[in-house]
Structure 1
Amino acid sequence: MTDTTSLSGKHALVTGGGTGIGLAIAQALAARGAQVTITGRRQEVLDQVAGDGVFGVAMDVRDEDAVNDTVAAVTRARGPIQICVPNAGIAEGRAVHKTDLEFWRNMMATNLDGAFLTIKACLPGMRQTDWGRVIAVSSIAGLRGLPGAAAYAASKHGLIGLIRSLSEDYMGQPYTFNALCPGYVDTPIVDRNQEAIAERTGMSSEDARKVMINANRHKRLLDADEVAAAALWLTGPGSQSINGQCIQISGGQTV
């Protein structure tokens, strides 16, 4: 019997794939048989997790030439990218009156421009095949306002707008475009935000962590594998009609 869940023969690209959600998605795709290229800014981090169908290539998603050159190189090596996961991003809160233009532009360049450049570079190869999935990692902050993080929330709202528009552009074709919108996930980003919140507010580190835990409806941090499972679902059989969706992964209704 044919294994309809196998991704053998498929090439996936996961940006920000060296840690956290990106790594969990990359490893899940590789376990299903895909050849997975992961990118990040630091080659040494990628080298530590590469292997078993996962290949690491340093790339800055803010650099258009780097994105185009990397996608071209890995396409030559492993074939057209049929699963594109724009995941690379930064999550940092700052009140608007303390947000300078440099902070704003770096947030947009990484979280929104980086996703745009990655998808744009992957689409020509994907369109030469008969199947493709674009799975962007947004955030619950892409669907609602997030106190003290206007730049971050705006970048994630923009990413959802991009995905929804692409789903309309390619409606009826064998390619789907969806966004995963997780709440707070137990990753190094949460660890960094925990200390930032504590420093900014004067609360204890433990209380700062509780702020993020309590923001999830089920009052616990998500596991990165829970987000990866949703990504796998979008590559599996029966997913072809899931298109232009923002899938909330946050323990309950939030929007």
Structure 2
Amino acid sequence: MKGKRAIVTGGGSGIGAAIATSLLAEGVRVTLMGRSLERLEKQQALLMGEVAIQVCDVADEASVKAAFAAAGGVDILVNNAGQVETAPLARTSLETWQRLLQVNLTGTFLCCREALPGMLEQGFGRIINVASTAALRGYAYVAAYSAAKHGVLGLTRSLALELAKKGDLTVNAVCPGYTETEIVENAIATIQAKTGRSAAEARAELAASNPQGRLIQPEEVAAAVLWLARRESGSITGQAIAVSGGETM
């Protein structure tokens, strides 16, 4: 993998940062993309290896086009940027619905579209979409997020078939369960605020959905992404790899 070029969206923290670390360890040149320059610069300083950064709002077509043009080519695209918000459907505004679809689903589409011409020209490419177990099953109070992630999985499967005879190009999804990230910390805070439970109780409630009784670590998700990114994984395409301790099968 040495010398390959990777773009990781949402690369400023959490799963994205762990994925960048694993790719860099293999000699991959990584470009981190995200909305916050400050967060990207902080992560860049922490990582060892050839790391570039590009400010990019994946929900904005012009921003995506500019960021990918500046990055200058990609062999491995990891669509990791995402956003979640909880609410009963009856209290989910149209603005929230559209924003979550725009970030989670349309953002993935826009990034795939920008990466594809170069991948097709060179006859090699790996697209790995970080979805969620919410792409594989429903969860209460996250209808917009779940709908978006189900859409990401549909996009993954359709694009995989579209590219199957176009060279060594694969498209897969990695579907983590509750992972030790800022998103889960926010979920814990929400549970505390709405139920009066302690942080430990809220954390235990989320961990209980995993048959192993724990939260997933970002490095575990990164390991699955790295496996799919390898040339040796060329026969694996259109798949949804659950990293969830057996929560989904």
Give the residue type in structure 2 aligned to 1:63: D
What is the match of residue 85 of structure 1?
78
Q: TM-score, normalised by structure 2?
A: 0.95
Give the residue type in structure 2 aligned to 1:70: A
CA apart distance, 1:253: 4.8
Matched, 1:243 2:227: no
What is the match of residue 71 of structure 1?
68
Correspondence list, 1:90-105, <5 A: 90-105=83-98
Matched, 1:33 2:30: no
- Listed as ranges, the gaps of 5+ residues in structure 1 are 1-6
Count of aligned pairs between the two proteins: 245
Matched, 1:23 2:17: yes
What is the match of residue 57 of structure 1?
54
Tell me how far apart the structure 2 counterparts of residues 93 and 62 of structure 1 sit (CA, whole Å): 19
Tell me how far apart the structure 2 counterparts of residues 74 and 191 of structure 1 sit (CA, whole Å): 31
What is the match of residue 152 of structure 2?
159
Matched, 1:209 2:203: yes
What is the match of residue 136 of structure 2?
143
* SS, match of residue 208 in structure 2: helix
Give the residue type in structure 2 aligned to 1:43: L
Equivalent of residue 106 in structure 2, options 88, 103, 113: 113
Tell me how far apart the structure 1 counterparts of residues 238 and 15 of structure 2 sit (CA, whole Å): 21
* SS, match of residue 28 in structure 1: helix
Matched, 1:228 2:211: no
Tell me how far apart the structure 2 counterparts of residues 126 and 237 of structure 1 sit (CA, whole Å): 14
- The farther-off stretch of 22-31 and 200-209 is 200-209
Equivalent of residue 117 in structure 2, options 124, 135, 141: 124
- The farther-off stretch of 205-214 and 175-184 is 205-214
Give the residue type in structure 1 aligned to 2:217: D
- Listed as ranges, the gaps of 5+ residues in structure 2 are none
Tell me how far apart the structure 1 counterparts of residues 229 and 95 of structure 2 sit (CA, whole Å): 37
What is the match of residue 3 of structure 1?
none
What is the match of residue 198 of structure 1?
192
Matched-pair contact (CA < 8 Å) for 2:15–2:181: yes
Matched-pair contact (CA < 8 Å) for 1:36–1:54: yes
Matched-pair contact (CA < 8 Å) for 2:128–2:229: no
CA apart distance, 1:233: 0.6
Give the residue type in structure 2 aligned to 1:57: Q
Tell me how far apart the structure 2 counterparts of residues 158 and 166 of structure 1 sit (CA, whole Å): 12
Give the residue type in structure 2 aligned to 1:72: A
Matched, 1:169 2:159: no
Matched-pair contact (CA < 8 Å) for 1:27–1:54: no
CA apart distance, 1:130: 2.5
CA apart distance, 1:45: 0.7
Tell me how far apart the structure 1 counterparts of residues 159 and 89 of structure 2 sit (CA, whole Å): 30
Tell me how far apart the structure 1 counterparts of residues 211 and 191 of structure 2 sit (CA, whole Å): 20
